[in-house]
Chain A
Amino acid sequence: MLKTKKTVYLDYAATTPIDPQVLKAMLPYFSTRFGNSMSLHALGREAKGALEQSRKQIAKIIGAKPSEIIFTGSASESNNLAIKGVAFANKDRGRHIIISAIEHPCIMQSVAFLEKHAGFTITRLRVDKFGTVSPADVAKAITKETVLVSIMHANNEIGTIEPIAEIGKICHDKGVLFHTDAAQTLGKLPIDVNKMKIDLLTASSHKIYGPKGAACLYIRSGTKIEPILHGGSHEFGLRASTINVPAIVGFAKAATICAKQMAREDKRLASLRDKLIKGVLLRIPRSRLNGHPKLRLANNANFSFDFVEGESIVLSLDALGIAVSTGSACSSEKLEPSHVLLAIGLRPEQAHGSLRLTLGRQTKERDIVYTLKVLPKVIKNLRIVSPFKI
């Protein structure tokens, strides 16, 4: 019943398909080069060599030293380590952490954990209607007790890019550590940890055509941090676990390819995104764009449609071969609307009808044309069923 010929994947912020070149680079590390990077023999040293080469590649992309990169299993893990690791290592200096109200749930939950179990005070900075954090608000919130500020580079739901270079400078001047979650931006936006005064940075593999199960945390040398996963001496003693060499090799390869293509791909996606945004707002009455009109990820479009609900839109589009996502309460496990959409001032009923479309490498103009043809009809049909109409 739901089989369609066409599949238009517009959920690249959720995950991406692996680049064939990346897969090719990974394959030997599953079979012939299967060694444990901790072993002393030739196979082990071969794995260790691949690991260190990958570390170099990632470091180069963000202007860091290889010794400042540690690999983890996911961006959630990197964020947990950044928040909890810095908090525990610096708790004698103070127990205050500043984040924004629109961070990823793994940041929100990590600080909530510290609040509940370790006596930390958390400031959750409000954002404006576009989802932008004000650097002045960060400066005002910093106290003598503040040990860490964590503000994401770009938001995963609404795509808004935060002024992290300004925030980094403020933190640097005040002597407070600054972490940024760049899971949505590595390989998409230029990053230089020194210019941007970033002390810790989270990046992810599967958002940039690399495999799932690999991510990293950049930690500026000299930063006090405690491991949260205890055991062997892997990753400079900061992350015990046998190294997932194939995934890390793939991550480094994927990041290198993205960094190389970044400028061109950014331009191409931004043009498709603008066509999509313009088309949707023009064709669908009572629709609005969520997030910043200009300072947003080149691949992100997020809308709200009055009088209809997001899960209904997603599954209607799914039946027509278009894959997208929503911040509606009905699609969440807790039946709560997206905290990001509420934070930018949407009323719950507006968050109810939200839709995120994220573009990527395989997105072509014809996909946008098809979406613009189909989406207005889907919204119209759902509005016919809705008690609220235009």
Chain B
Amino acid sequence: MPLPYSSKVMEHFLHPKNMGKIKNADGIGKVGNLQCGDVMWLYIKVGKNKSGKEIIKDIKFETFGCVAALSTSSAITELAKGKTLGKALKIDRAKIVKNLGGLPPIKIHCSVLAADALDEAIYDYLQKNKKKISLDLQKRHEIILKSKEGIEHRYHDWINLEEELRHGKD
């Protein structure tokens, strides 16, 4: 009996790419799924390509979740790296699922989480730098924000602990 996951998913899971934190990230996307409990944090560093367009120069993730959540996190960092912000925003769940060679139906929400995290990281960058935010991205941000409140409430203790430790180290 094969695993419920494709070999590509397992490859990302067992050998995740771009995991970790980016110090002084330009944008951070923190999302979670309240139903299953998975949490995904995505960090981006923004740079410029030869034609002067803003691109995702570096991207890293930290995820608390299942095999699908970890592998979609890893996959989206690979998909987004080097892309212009406009193109990165077009990476949706369908692209992630396709890139991974499919996901079990019950795990599709994990790919949504990854796409949301990237949207949020880019939104965070645009907002911090007072850049223009498209109506579509603004809308998506507001939807994500609603579900985020529940997650932040649930992980209150752990988020505080993590922040205390981070400030302690810095």
Tell me whether A330 is interfacial, beta carbon within 8 Å: yes
Cα–Cα distance between A310 and B159 once the two chains are bound (Å): 20
Contact A2 B38 (CB under 8 A): no
Restricting to B24-56, which residues have a CB under 8 Å from any CB of A?
30, 35-41
What would be 11 A-B contacts, judged by CB atoms less than 8 Å apart?
A307-B158, A309-B38, A315-B13, A319-B14, A330-B37, A330-B38, A349-B158, A384-B20, A385-B62, A388-B158, A389-B165
Q: Assuming the A-B contacts A312-B13, A337-B37, are A386 and B66 also in contact, with contact meaning beta carbons closer than 8 angstroms in the complex?
A: no
Tell me whether A123 is interfacial, beta carbon within 8 Å: no
B159 vs chain A, min Cβ distance (A)? 8
Tell me whether B100 is interfacial, beta carbon within 8 Å: no
A305 vs chain B, min Cβ distance (A)? 11
Cα–Cα distance between A82 and B162 once the two chains are bound (Å): 50
Cα–Cα distance between A347 and B36 once the two chains are bound (Å): 13
Q: Assuming the A-B contacts A309-B38, A329-B35, are A386 and B106 also in contact, with contact meaning beta carbons closer than 8 angstroms in the complex?
A: no
Cα–Cα distance between A374 and B106 once the two chains are bound (Å): 29
- Measured CB to CB, the nearest residue on chain B to A351 is B37
Contact B10 A307 (CB under 8 A): no
Contact B10 A348 (CB under 8 A): no
Additional pairs, 14, CB under 8 Å, beyond known A330-B65, A387-B40, A389-B162 = A1-B7, A1-B10, A306-B158, A307-B64, A307-B158, A309-B69, A311-B67, A312-B66, A315-B13, A335-B36, A349-B37, A385-B70, A386-B63, A388-B159
Contact B67 A384 (CB under 8 A): no
Cα–Cα distance between A387 and B59 once the two chains are bound (Å): 15
* Chain B interface residue number, banded: 35 or more
A-B contact count (CB 8 A): 88
- The 5 tightest CB contacts between A and B, nearest first, are A330-B66, A387-B62, A311-B66, A387-B41, A386-B64
User: 1/0 per position for A306-339, CB-CB distance to B under 8 A?
Assistant: 1111111001100100000000111101010100
Tell me whether A352 is interfacial, beta carbon within 8 Å: yes
Q: In the complex, which residues of chain A have a beta carbon less than 8 angstroms from the beta carbon of B70?
A: 312, 385
Interface of B is mostly: mixed
A4 vs chain B, min Cβ distance (A)? 12
Give the residue of B10, B39, B106 whose beta carbon is less than 8 angstroms from that of A387.
B39
Q: In the complex, which residues of chain B have a beta carbon less than 8 angstroms from the beta carbon of A385?
A: 16, 19, 61-63, 70
Q: Assuming the A-B contacts A307-B64, A330-B66, are A388 and B106 also in contact, with contact meaning beta carbons closer than 8 angstroms in the complex?
A: no
Contact A315 B67 (CB under 8 A): yes
Q: In the complex, which residues of chain B have a beta carbon less than 8 angstroms from the beta carbon of A390?
A: 165
Tell me whether B139 is interfacial, beta carbon within 8 Å: no
Contact A387 B38 (CB under 8 A): no
Q: In the complex, which residues of chain B have a beta carbon less than 8 angstroms from the beta carbon of A331?
A: 66
Cα–Cα distance between A1 and B158 once the two chains are bound (Å): 35
Cα–Cα distance between A154 and B3 once the two chains are bound (Å): 31
- Measured CB to CB, the nearest residue on chain A to B30 is A387
Contact B63 A387 (CB under 8 A): yes
Q: In the complex, which residues of chain A have a beta carbon less than 8 angstroms from the beta carbon of B66?
A: 309-312, 328, 330-331
Contact A312 B162 (CB under 8 A): no
Q: In the complex, which residues of chain A have a beta carbon less than 8 angstroms from the beta carbon of B30?
A: 387
Contact A349 B155 (CB under 8 A): yes
Tell me whether B154 is interfacial, beta carbon within 8 Å: yes
